[in-house]
């Protein structure tokens, strides 16, 4: 085909056709860009074409649930072959489209509650998984080879022009909408209300094709709320070791915490234990973090200077509004979260990532993938990886780099601290340390090209268990590394398989450090150290501003 015959604006023309079909289908029910909720099916039939790449906004918190339901209700005889894109595949409807035959391809990042059903559908041949991504990677591909043709997003409100206000749960909407709108795609937003004037504009109307007021407000999951009442004394001990043996040791000022009780315990003993060590102003000043309720006491105690958030957290709205020096808020007073920028901050602007996992092998590779579940890893691979493009120095980064390279003939370089914190046995007495990750078998079952590892061993710098801290930066051979891991693996088979003399040698060299080596009195490790011991304490610490979701109210 000669260049002169080639069509260069096929997407634009196709977009016009889709819009024209929508206008024809909805007629006078379409008021500008505002479509009525009961016409969602007609609208989707009008704008969708078979084989479309469709991004449904499913986030850690906010869900475009009305649109997801509408999509799943379509007739597969009329729409099929869709290629679905999700940050978080969280709702049953996200999988119904595959079961019904409306969609057959999937690329995503995380699938927590749907992981088991996803694995079943995959093995039944109902869908073809392109890949599991970390969030920022998926956003990057939206601008390269996974650009959505149609995006279904969620916002708090729209005005009559189609401008969107997301409120605190901006999350993934900017990345999805930009990639779709600027490739001549279609962006449909479900909103909780349509108003004359928005508190602020998060997504300009130019980027939005249609807005629909959903019958019920979009669903929000309070994913980052941990009730302090459930924190154990083992977790308090591990939190003490983390603070004294890692945070203070490296002077960690900029960080991200994973989800979980282990890290909630650390947040909750900052105002008590870390304060007693004189660490206020020296550690934990800048965070890339959702607004964890467990962080309230540390904020109130003056530990925290800033928090930039991936998404918001239900119940934290008023507290955030009253703490604008700490959180990123708009002129309207509500937060602007942004997963793309917060993941960028986590990757390049933080010195430490600490999170938990389900399994760690003898090389330090870790994974939450277990048999029969295709869960994905969300942000962990991005934040739990050394940012090799990073060029700015900090005390923590330089010290980690020096430890890793001491005595080696390499050019000096810093390194990110990546800490995996696990109790040696998880629930049902499953060992956290294994000879071989389940990920190998899962990868074979699901025909993945390589096993799904969450964090690679060569990126992990420390493993923290109730038995102590293994500093992998200081290990000089594969064998030392293996013994350092065995040396904190407790009574698991991996731990029992340790070479005792070598482990004692590693301890003498400070590669393994027990609580007593750190000068930590284990008797102090009680729940008394928690600055809030239950949800009510968190509410109190917030001066009544924190308003926990019902399921967390046990008083």
- Chosen residue from 49, 99, 104, 137 binding its own copies by CB under 8 A: 137
Report the site for its own copies in 437-496 (rule: CB under 8 A): 437, 448-453, 456-459, 478
# residues contacting its own copies (CB under 8 A): 109
H/E stretch holding 441? helix 438-445
Q: Measure Cα distances from 419 to 151, 350, 365, 485 in Å.
A: 36, 13, 12, 13
Report the site for its own copies in 332-391 (rule: CB under 8 A): 332, 336, 338, 340-342, 344-350, 361, 363, 365, 377, 381-391
Report the site for its own copies in 39-78 (rule: CB under 8 A): none
If the CB atoms of residues 38 and 479 are measured against its own copies, the closer one turns out to be 479
- Chosen residue from 147, 173, 357, 415 binding its own copies by CB under 8 A: 147
Window 262-301: contact mask with its own copies (x via CB under 8 A): -----------------------xx-x-----------xx
Least distance between its own copies and beta carbon 101 (Å): 25
210 binds its own copies (CB under 8 A): no
Residues found in the chain: 555
- Contact (Cβ atoms closer than 8 angstroms) between residue 417 and residue 256: no
Question: How many whole angstroms separate alpha carbon 76 and alpha carbon 424?
Answer: 48
Judged by CB under 8 A, the stretch of 5-13, 21-29, 96-104, 523-531 that binds its own copies is 5-13
Question: How many whole angstroms separate alpha carbon 277 and alpha carbon 300?
Answer: 18
- Chosen residue from 5, 278, 392, 427 binding its own copies by CB under 8 A: 392
**Which residues fall within 8 angstroms of residue 246, CB to CB, at 6 or more apart?**
252, 352, 354, 417, 419, 462, 464, 469
Check residue 217 and report its DSSP letter: P
If the CB atoms of residues 52 and 93 are measured against its own copies, the closer one turns out to be 52
Q: Quick one: tokens of 139?
A: 């956003």
Q: Measure Cα distances from 126 to 42, 102, 121, 531 in Å.
A: 26, 10, 5, 49
Q: Quick one: tokens of 59?
A: 């986030």
**Which residues fall within 8 angstroms of residue 3, CB to CB, at 6 or more apart?**
none
Selection from 462, 288, 459, 452 nearest residue 377 by Cα: 452
Least distance between its own copies and beta carbon 465 (Å): 21
Q: Quick one: tokens of 43?
A: 């609208």
If the CB atoms of residues 143 and 491 are measured against its own copies, the closer one turns out to be 143
Given the DSSP bridges, would you call strands 128-132 and 417-421 parallel, antiparallel or unpaired? unpaired
Least distance between its own copies and beta carbon 267 (Å): 16
Least distance between its own copies and beta carbon 209 (Å): 10
Question: How many whole angstroms separate alpha carbon 191 and alpha carbon 159?
Answer: 10
130 binds its own copies (CB under 8 A): yes
Q: Quick one: tokens of 412?
A: 């000096």
If the CB atoms of residues 38 and 478 are measured against its own copies, the closer one turns out to be 478
Least distance between its own copies and beta carbon 545 (Å): 10
Report the site for its own copies in 171-200 (rule: CB under 8 A): 175, 178-179, 181-184, 200
Selection from 144, 188, 180 nearest residue 40 by Cα: 188
Report the site for its own copies in 101-120 (rule: CB under 8 A): 107
Least distance between its own copies and beta carbon 130 (Å): 7
DSSP calls for 248-307: HHHT--EEEE-SSHHHHHHHHHIIIIIHHTT-TTTS--EEE----GGGHHHHHTT--SEE
Least distance between its own copies and beta carbon 64 (Å): 21
Question: How many whole angstroms separate alpha carbon 443 and alpha carbon 445?
Answer: 6
Least distance between its own copies and beta carbon 210 (Å): 14
If the CB atoms of residues 74 and 279 are measured against its own copies, the closer one turns out to be 279
Handedness of CA 452, 53, 190, 160 (dihedral sign): positive
- Chosen residue from 144, 215, 501, 550 binding its own copies by CB under 8 A: 144
Least distance between its own copies and beta carbon 116 (Å): 20
If the CB atoms of residues 392 and 428 are measured against its own copies, the closer one turns out to be 392
If the CB atoms of residues 96 and 482 are measured against its own copies, the closer one turns out to be 482
534 binds its own copies (CB under 8 A): no
Window 395-424: contact mask with its own copies (x via CB under 8 A): ---x--x-------xxxxxx----------
Judged by CB under 8 A, the stretch of 47-55, 64-72, 320-328, 494-502 that binds its own copies is 320-328
If the CB atoms of residues 285 and 533 are measured against its own copies, the closer one turns out to be 285
Check residue 475 and report its DSSP letter: -
**Which residues fall within 8 angstroms of residue 544, CB to CB, at 6 or more apart?**
none
The 3-state DSSP class for residue 86 equals strand
If the CB atoms of residues 86 and 377 are measured against its own copies, the closer one turns out to be 377
């Amino acid at each position: 085909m000669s260049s002169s015959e080639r069509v260069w604006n096929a997407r634009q023309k196709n977009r016009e056709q889709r819009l024209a079909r929508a206008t024809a289908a909805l007629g006078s029910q379409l008021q500008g860009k505002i479509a009525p909720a009961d016409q969602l099916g007609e609208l989707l039939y009008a704008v969708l074409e078979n084989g479309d790449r469709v991004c449904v906004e499913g986030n850690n918190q906010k869900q475009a649930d009305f649109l997801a339901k509408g999509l799943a209700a379509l007739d597969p005889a009329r729409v099929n072959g869709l290629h679905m894109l999700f940050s978080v595949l969280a709702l049953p409807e996200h999988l119904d489209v595959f079961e019904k035959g409306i969609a057959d391809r999937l690329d995503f990042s995380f699938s927590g509650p749907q992981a088991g059903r996803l694995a079943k559908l995959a093995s039944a041949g109902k869908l073809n998984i392109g890949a599991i991504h970390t969030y920022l990677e998926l956003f990057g591909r939206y601008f390269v080879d996974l650009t959505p043709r149609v995006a279904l997003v969620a916002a708090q409100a729209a005005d009559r022009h189609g401008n969107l206000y997301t409120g605190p749960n901006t999350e993934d909407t900017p990345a999805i909408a930009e990639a779709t709108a600027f490739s001549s795609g279609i962006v449909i937003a479900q909103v909780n209300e349509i108003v004359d004037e928005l508190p602020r504009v998060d997504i300009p109307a130019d980027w939005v094709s249609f807005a629909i007021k959903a019958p019920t407000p979009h669903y929000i999951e309070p994913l980052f709320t941990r009730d302090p009442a459930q924190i154990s004394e083992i977790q308090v001990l591990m939190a003490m070791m983390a603070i004294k043996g890692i945070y203070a040791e490296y002077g960690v000022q900029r960080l991200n915490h994973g989800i979980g009780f282990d890290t909630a315990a650390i947040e909750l003993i900052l105002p008590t234990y870390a304060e007693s060590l004189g660490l206020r102003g020296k550690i934990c000043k800048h965070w890339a973090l959702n607004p964890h309720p467990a962080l309230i006491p540390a904020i109130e105690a003056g530990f925290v200077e800033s928090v930039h958030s991936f998404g918001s957290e239900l119940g934290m709205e008023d507290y955030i509004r009253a703490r604008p020096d700490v959180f990123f808020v708009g002129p309207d007073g509500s937060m602007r979260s942004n997963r793309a920028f917060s993941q960028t901050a986590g990757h390049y602007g933080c010195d430490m990532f600490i999170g938990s996992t389900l399994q760690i092998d003898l090389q330090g590779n870790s994974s939450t993938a277990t048999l029969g579940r295709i869960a994905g890893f969300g942000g962990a691979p991005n934040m739990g990886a050394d940012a090799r493009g990073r060029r700015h120095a900090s005390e923590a980064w330089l010290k980690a780099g020096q430890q890793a390279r001491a005595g080696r003939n390499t050019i000096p370089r810093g390194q990110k601290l990546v800490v995996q914190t696990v109790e040696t046995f998880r629930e049902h007495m499953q060992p956290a340390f294994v000879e071989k990750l389940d990920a190998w078998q899962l990868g074979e079952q699901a025909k993945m090209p390589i096993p799904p590892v969450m964090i690679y061993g060569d990126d992990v710098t420390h493993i923290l268990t109730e038995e102590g801290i293994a500093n992998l930066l200081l290990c000089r051979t594969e064998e030392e590394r293996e013994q350092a891991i065995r040396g904190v693996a407790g009574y698991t088979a991996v731990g029992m398989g340790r070479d005792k003399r070598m482990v004692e040698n590693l301890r003498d060299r400070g590669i393994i450090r027990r609580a007593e080596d750190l000068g930590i009195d284990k008797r102090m490790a009680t729940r008394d150290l928690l600055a809030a011991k239950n949800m009510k304490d968190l509410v109190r610490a917030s001066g009544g501003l924190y308003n926990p979701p019902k399921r967390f109210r046990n008083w």
